[in-house]
Chains A and B, each alone.
Chain A
Amino acid sequence: MSSVDLQGITKDFSGIRALDDVTFSIKDGEFFVLLGPTGAGKTTTLRIIAGLTKQDAGTLFFDGDSMEHTTPADRDVAYVFQQYSLYPTMTVFDNLAFPLRSPLRKIPEVEIRKKVDEAAQKLKITHLLDRKTARLSGGEMQRVSIGRAIVREPRLFLMDEPLSNLDAKLRESLRVELQHLQKTQGYTTLFVTHDQIEALTMADRIAILNEGRIIQIGTPNDIYDRPATTFVATLVGTPRINLFKAAWDNGTVLIENSELHIPSAGNTPAQFLLGIRPEDVKPTAEGKFAGKLVLTEPLGVETILHIQSGGQTLLSLIPGMTDLRLNDTVRFNLAQDRLHYFDLEGKRL
């Protein structure tokens, strides 16, 4: 497999900047996720790496070699799309064998069978090999698409929202398979998604992309615990982070339009934004803070409490179900070492 470097990649589409000075490196064997909303430039980045789109400025390297004058075929990357582009009249076996049967490769049939069998085993689709792909479920089709990518033993895997068309349960199980496969085989992978859960759960590192710019690069822990901006803080984590306008006044953080006064050592500007993750709002009988319970959302494994203080509503995430009733006063503590401070423009302080 290969390492990949993007340096200052910029791309305009009819005067509109799709990518603006995008720079990041993917290490050999790394699972790297590009996370961002629709229109952020994720797919354009993938297409530039694959050689399907040409950048206006900047350089792309594989293993330190510039890809400037290479064709898509020379780059030897495997691309897995959201839509399964399989040949419907062929069997699963023939779909998997297809990239190996290219006349340029001249691989003997015995060898092909061996490689296909191996790939099928890794993806747990051995029992489907003789079936026509038109008769498979969505999850099975996507396994075959991934199988067809790995059978080629490419330098790099590019995956463009491959799980987005699947229902929640299938998405979950294929996510686990993909992660297991990548970690055990050491495939260098660039995975594009708008789904923060996919990014957090699978990535070695995540790059957050918005409006063509990289906002932050880091491990899932970095991104979750130290979001660089309020955009990142709200993009990652469910339920969403609580974010309030706040002021610092002589050793106390005052949350605007509420009765929440938090003792704080300071070092913050007079005005700022305060972020509190819902799991860091911890109800307890002796809590230092109080509010009124205005809504509960039981999800089974956990419950979201909506706690009102003045004109603000604070979300709290607690394990299991709750005995609290609506309009009860809820006392709670905050995990004070896990509070997030941002300036009024949204940059982490």
Chain B
Amino acid sequence: MATIQLQQVEKKFSEFYAVKPMDLTIADGEFVSLLGPSGCGKTTTLRMISGLETVSGGIISLDGRNVTWRHPSDRNIAFVFQFYALYPHMNARQNIAFPLQAEGMATADIEKRVEEVVKLLRIESLLKTHPGKLSGGDKQRIALARALVRRPAAFLMDEPLGALDAEFRESMRAEIKRLHLSIHATTVYVTHDQVEAMAMSDRIVVMSAAEVQQVGTPAEVYYDPANLFVARFIGSPGMNLLAGQHVGKQIRLTGRGQYVIPDHLHGPLTEALNGNSEVILGFRPEAAEINPDGTLNGNVYATDMHGAYTMLHINLNENEIIHVRGDRAFSSPIGTQVRFNLKPDMVRFFHPKTEKAIRGEARS
């Protein structure tokens, strides 16, 4: 297997950046997702790694070997697309065996290799079926098997679950992750779905507007987003973000109460704000606790039953609605005032101008 390294890799179309210069090192056996909205540059990045797209600058290395200008077929990388690209006139087994036959491998060896991946993916029952008669999930299993059978140095996957129904997507997500755990192939996975990226990845590269916003583990991008974009994009719903005034040891929210800043954050916050009082307070829906003595307040805008929990939408000011995850039994009529507190270890601060996170621990 392989490490993948990108050094100042960029892609320009005339004056416009599709991907601004980026550095990224993917360790051998690592599962890394490129996550972002459409047009953020994630697929272009993947295509540059595969060699399907040329770079405008920078160096791509595989296992320390510079492959920047190598042909895709010289890179020993397998590509799995959203659309399965199976040969309709071949049955599943023939589809899986095809890349090995094309290499001219001996029939007995092909048999052995096919046997291996069939067992790994548990697709014995599908082998004689033609793609036209397979479900979306099964087609994607065959496409995966065909990629695996080559034993490539790395896998590149471009939204492989994007075309599947919600129910298939959930189970295929777990299957691909289990497969990854059993073969530990270096994998770069492109998706716009933050749930998929969180559930599957060792690390996530969050991209927006042709630029890397943050590289981190699922826990890092969720709990400590580097900026407002990541805070909003990760999570369903995203982080609650409120404009407040830093006065004394408090963050004041106009007409809606105040939050007392923990002592160890007071210094870093004052320093980062550099004399300005405007600050953005961020917290995840599960960081707020409904409490009759809470120091913050708002009015119930809507409540959602989600089965295992209730999501409470609270209106603070005109068009400023926050989301609070509550107990399933919570119920309150629209318009009722509710008070809440924030769990201090789950409160984050952002600079309103730079939109970057202000971190306390990093400095102390």
Contacts and interface: CB of A to CB of B under 8 A. Distances in A.
Contacts of A102: none
Contacts of A195: 166
Interface in B280-323: 284-286, 301-302, 304-308, 311, 313, 319, 321
Contacts of A176: 301-302, 304, 313, 321
14 contacts: A176-B313, A176-B321, A179-B302, A180-B301, A195-B166, A201-B305, A224-B307, A278-B308, A297-B173, A300-B198, A300-B284, A301-B284, A306-B178, A326-B181
B307 A295 contact: no
Interface in A229-287: 234, 236-240, 277-279
A346 interface: no
Contacts of A101: none
Given A301-B235, A301-B285, A238 B222 contact: no
A299 B307 contact: no
Contacts, number: 96
A300 B302 contact: no
Nearest to B219: A321
Contact of B199 (A234, A236, A297): A297
Count chain B CB atoms within 10 A of each CB in A200, A237, A240, A298 and give the residue with the most. Answer: A298
B236 A168 contact: yes
Contact of B200 (A224, A294, A297, A301): A297
Contacts of A279: 307-308
Interface of B: 37, 166-167, 170, 173-174, 177-178, 181, 193, 195, 198-200, 218-219, 222, 232, 234-238, 284-286, 301-302, 304-308, 311, 313, 319, 321, 325, 334
Nearest to A178: B302
Interface string A285-323: 000000000110111110010100000000001011100
A212 interface: no
A300 B218 contact: yes
A180 B302 contact: yes
B305 to A, nearest CB: 5
A195 B166 CA distance: 9
Interface in A166-209: 167-169, 172-173, 175-176, 179-180, 183-184, 195, 197, 200-202
Contact of B37 (A167, A180, A237, A295): A167
Contacts of A294: 178
Contacts of B313: 176, 180
A169 B305 contact: no
Given A295-B177, A299-B195, A124 B319 contact: yes
Nearest to B201: A298
B230 to A, nearest CB: 12
B304 A179 contact: yes
Contacts of B307: 200, 220, 224, 236-238, 277, 279
Nearest to B309: A279
A237 B306 CA distance: 8
B175 to A, nearest CB: 10
A306 B170 CA distance: 13
B220 to A, nearest CB: 11
A184 B302 CA distance: 10
Nearest to B235: A300
A164 B247 CA distance: 44
A164 to B, nearest CB: 12
B306 to A, nearest CB: 6
Count chain A CB atoms within 10 A of each CB in B167, B170, B199, B285 and give the residue with the most. Answer: B199
Nearest to B310: A201
Contacts of B222: 298, 300-301
A85 interface: no
A301 B323 CA distance: 13
Given A169-B237, A239-B170, A298 B219 contact: yes
A175 B313 CA distance: 11
A221 interface: yes
Contacts of B306: 197, 200-201
A277 B308 contact: yes
B170 A319 contact: no
Contacts of B174: 295, 297, 304, 306
A201 B308 CA distance: 12
Contacts of A184: 334
B199 A201 contact: no
